[in-house]
């Protein structure tokens, strides 16, 4: 017994301290640091992977946005083109309808003119035919009368001859 | 294994146990007792009778235990460093998981309590490991020969008052280093305010481990108590102490380290009072819980 309460010994405290310091250093170098480094490395690896995935997702979102915008612009363009085409189409249709109307009117008027002409022609030819027929009939009538007279004359002549013989 | 084989194995086991029991009773007879129970208990506290030789120095057996535990831990760490850690995988196996859990536990405890936590994490890892394995070392009953020629079972390193004082004071110095790192000279003042800390840390550790050691000594002193009971006593007074004391010291160290290294600007007076009250309550709660667990 040294007289110190509880047998506290400074030398032994220092020896304990020395022992623990060596243990601390060894555990730190051999176990704590490598394991912690590995854990941090893994955490970093997964964090990198996560951030890469997030970047990829973000870039995909951006691309989607760009394509959405492009698609929207394209849709707009298509819509305006469609409207323009419709307008052109309407104009063309109107034009063609107008043309067709004009053609139809022209055809109608030509037909009317032709019909009028043909009518006139028919009327004139009919008139001519009627005139001819009338002339022929007259001629026929006239001829018929002269022929019978001639025949009568012939018959008279013949009878006369017979009588003479 | 068939039913018959299992029955056979149980019978063989029971016979072997009965033989050992009979042998222990027959070889007893009190001839091995060289000290009274009072002397054993007194020596467990003071370590003034049964001293051991360590490299020519007469020291308490606790120091020899400390050296053995440290050597064992260093060899274990070396084996892990050479054979296990290089083979670590991204998806851990069982042993890797155990190592990562232990390191992560102390590292996260340090992170949770202080912004400056690199050194603190390493310190509480070493301290926690030392307290835990040192306390469990008592269970092994490693024998040593005293300078007077008696055979003794080596105790836990921290059931030696010198070991406990070392751990308490070193923890206090680590806390002070945190104060200096976080607040400079002001940090020393902050740490000195907690002047009772080295004593409380040392004696809490010493008292808790000593109580376990004393009960174990008492149980083993009487051969009639040495059957079955040590299984319970060993678990209750050693394993629980190992866990609780490792947790309490590391928790308190990191808690006070965090307090003294905290350099965030002070909140207004009313808030400060509230903040201080909260901090004190948290620390008191931790200490109370630990003490209650120890007492239980």
3-class DSSP string for B178-245: HHHHHHCHHHHHHHHHCCCHHHHHHHHHHHHHHHHHHHHHHHHHCHHHCCCHHHHHHHHHHHHHHHHH
Check if the interface score ipTM surpasses 0.85: no
Question: Is B188 in the A-facing interface, judged by CB distances under 8 Å?
Answer: no
Q: What are the pLDDT digits (tens) for A92-131?
A: 888 888 888 888 888 888 888 888 888 888 888 888 888 8
Residues of chain B with pLDDT under 70: 28-34, 223, 267-277, 279-280, 283-284, 286-296
**B206 vs A50, residue with greater confidence:** A50
Looking at residue B294, its pLDDT comes to 58
Which of A1, A16, A26 lies at the smallest CB-CB distance from B63? A16
Q: Parse chain A into domains and list their residue ranges.
A: 9-146
Looking at residue B172, its pLDDT comes to 92
Which whole-number Å values give the CA distances from B279 to A139, B103, B168, in the listed order? 153, 26, 21
Nearest chain A Cα to B161, which residue? A8
Mean pLDDT across the stretch A74-93?
89
Which of B85, B125, B166 lies at the smallest CB-CB distance from A16? B166
Return the bridge partners of B145, or none: B151
Would the pLDDT of A153 be above 90?
A: no
Which of A7, A32, A45 lies at the smallest CB-CB distance from B125? A32
Interchain CB distance below 8 Å, A34 and B85: yes
Interchain CB distance below 8 Å, A19 and B77: no
Q: What are the pLDDT digits (tens) for B237-270?
A: 778 888 888 999 999 999 999 988 888 777 666 6
| Nearest C-alpha neighbor of B260 from the set B185, B157, B154 | B185
Query: How many angstroms away from the CA of B255 is the closest CA of chain A?
Result: 20
On whether the CB atoms of residues B260 and B190 are closer than 8 A, the answer is yes
Mean pLDDT across the stretch A150-165?
79
Q: Parse chain B into domains and list their residue ranges.
A: 31-264
Mean pLDDT across the stretch A88-94?
88
Looking at residue B275, its pLDDT comes to 66
| Cβ-based contacts of A1 with chain B (< 8 Å) | 46, 48
Confidence of residue A21 (pLDDT cuts 50, 70, 90): very high
Would the pLDDT of A1 be above 50?
A: no
Looking at residue B239, its pLDDT comes to 84
Question: Is B197 in the A-facing interface, judged by CB distances under 8 Å?
Answer: no
Token couple for B15:
């016979």
């Amino acid at each position: 017994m040294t007289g110190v309460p509880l047998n506290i010994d400074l030398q032994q405290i220092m020896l304990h301290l020395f022992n623990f310091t060596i243990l601390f250093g060894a555990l730190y170098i051999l176990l704590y640091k490598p394991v912690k480094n590995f854990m941090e490395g893994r955490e970093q690896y997964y964090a990198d992977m996560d951030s890469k995935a997030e970047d990829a997702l973000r870039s995909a979102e951006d691309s989607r946005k760009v394509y959405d915008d492009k698609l929207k612009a394209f849709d707009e363009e298509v819509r305006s083109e469609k409207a323009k085409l419709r307008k052109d189409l309407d104009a063309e249709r109107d034009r063609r309808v107008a043309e067709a109307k004009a053609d139809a009117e022209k055809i109608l008027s030509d037909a009317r003119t032709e019909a009028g002409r043909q009518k006139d022609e028919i009327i004139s030819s009919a008139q001519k035919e009627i005139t001819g027929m009338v002339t022929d009939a007259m001629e026929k009538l006239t001829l018929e009368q002269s022929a019978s007279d001639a025949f009568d004359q012939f018959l008279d002549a013949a009878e006369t001859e017979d009588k003479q013989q | 294994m068939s039913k018959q084989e299992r029955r056979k194995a149980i019978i063989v086991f029971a016979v072997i146990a009965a033989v050992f029991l009979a042998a222990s009773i027959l070889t007893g007879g009190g001839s091995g007792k060289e000290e009274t129970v009072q002397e054993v208990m007194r020596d467990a506290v003071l370590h003034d009778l049964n001293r051991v030789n360590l490299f020519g120095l007469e020291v308490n057996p606790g120091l020899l235990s400390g050296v053995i535990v440290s050597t064992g831990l260093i060899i274990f760490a070396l084996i892990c460093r050479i054979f296990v850690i290089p083979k670590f995988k991204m998806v851990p196996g069982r042993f890797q998981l155990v190592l990562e859990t232990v390191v992560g536990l102390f590292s996260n405890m340090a992170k949770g309590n202080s912004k400056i936590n690199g050194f603190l994490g390493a310190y509480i890892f070493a301290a926690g490991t030392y307290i835990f394995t040192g306390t469990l070392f008592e269970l092994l009953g490693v024998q040593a020969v005293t300078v007077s020629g008696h055979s003794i079972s080596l105790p836990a390193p921290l059931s030696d008052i010198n070991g406990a004082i070392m751990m308490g004071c070193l923890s206090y110095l680590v806390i002070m280093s945190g104060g200096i790192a976080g607040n400079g000279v002001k940090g020393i003042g902050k740490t000195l305010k907690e002047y009772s800390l080295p004593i409380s840390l040392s004696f809490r550790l010493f008292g808790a481990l000593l109580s376990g050691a004393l009960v174990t000594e008492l149980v083993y002193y009487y051969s009639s108590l040495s059957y079955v009971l040590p299984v319970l006593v060993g678990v209750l007074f050693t394993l629980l102490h190992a866990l609780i004391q490792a947790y309490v010291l590391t928790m308190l160290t990191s808690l006070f380290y965090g307090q003294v290294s905290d350099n965030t600007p002070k909140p207004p007076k009313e808030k400060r009072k509230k903040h201080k009250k909260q901090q004190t309550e948290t620390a008191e709660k931790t200490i109370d819980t630990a003490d209650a667990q120890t007492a239980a």
